[in-house]
């Protein structure tokens, strides 16, 4: 049902490498989000965007960057991957108002940094 796509689905990479996690949605949503989730834990907001050329930092943003050049595309970049970045990364988009909003999630990228 959801038209939000994340690639890659799985990624194993060495320490120090630069990586970009891709997220695209075809629903025309203005709001997009990146979350990090460790097993059995809650989601933590990394970055979010409320539209083209608008990006904001969340709680865990210090070691990553995002861009929003097009409505449909919201890539997340880790400049220098570390083992502590090993986690699941979830991209989401939403549409609607503060009292009537639906969230859509991608399938996630499971990142392992060796």
Is residue 10 part of the contact set for other proteins (CB under 8 A)? no
Residue 78 is encoded by which pair of tokens? 């880790």
Return d(Cα 99, Cα 21) in angstroms, integer.
30
> Measuring CA to CA, which residue among 89, 82, 112 is closest to residue 22?
89
Q: What's the Cα-to-Cα distance from 111 to each of 15, 18, 56, 78, 94, rounded to whole Å?
A: 12, 13, 23, 11, 24
**Least distance to other proteins, CB of residue 7, Å:** 14
Q: Which residues pair with 31 in a beta bridge?
A: 94
The one segment of 18-26, 40-48, 61-69, 73-81 that binds other proteins by CB under 8 A: 40-48
Is residue 104 part of the contact set for other proteins (CB under 8 A)? yes
Is residue 5 part of the contact set for other proteins (CB under 8 A)? no
Q: What are phi and psi of 99, to 5 degrees?
A: -110, 0
Q: How many residues bind other proteins, per CB under 8 A?
A: 24
Residue window 63-102: x/- pattern of binding to other proteins, with contact defined by CB under 8 A: -------------------------x-x-x---x-xxxxx
Q: Which residues bind other proteins (CB under 8 A)?
A: 2, 33, 37, 40-45, 88, 90, 92, 96, 98-105, 107-108, 110
């Amino acid at each position: 049902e959801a038209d939000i796509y994340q690639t890659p689905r799985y990624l194993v990479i060495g320490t120090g490498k630069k990586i970009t996690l891709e997220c695209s949605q075809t629903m025309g949503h203005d709001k997009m989000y990146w979350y990090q989730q460790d097993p059995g834990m809650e989601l933590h907001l990394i970055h979010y965007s409320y539209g083209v050329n608008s990006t904001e930092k969340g709680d865990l943003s210090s070691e990553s960057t995002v861009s929003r050049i097009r409505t449909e595309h919201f890539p997340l970049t880790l400049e220098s991957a570390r083992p502590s970045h090993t986690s699941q990364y979830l991209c989401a988009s939403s549409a609607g108002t503060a009292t009537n909003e639906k969230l859509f999630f991608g399938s996630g990228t499971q990142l392992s940094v060796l």
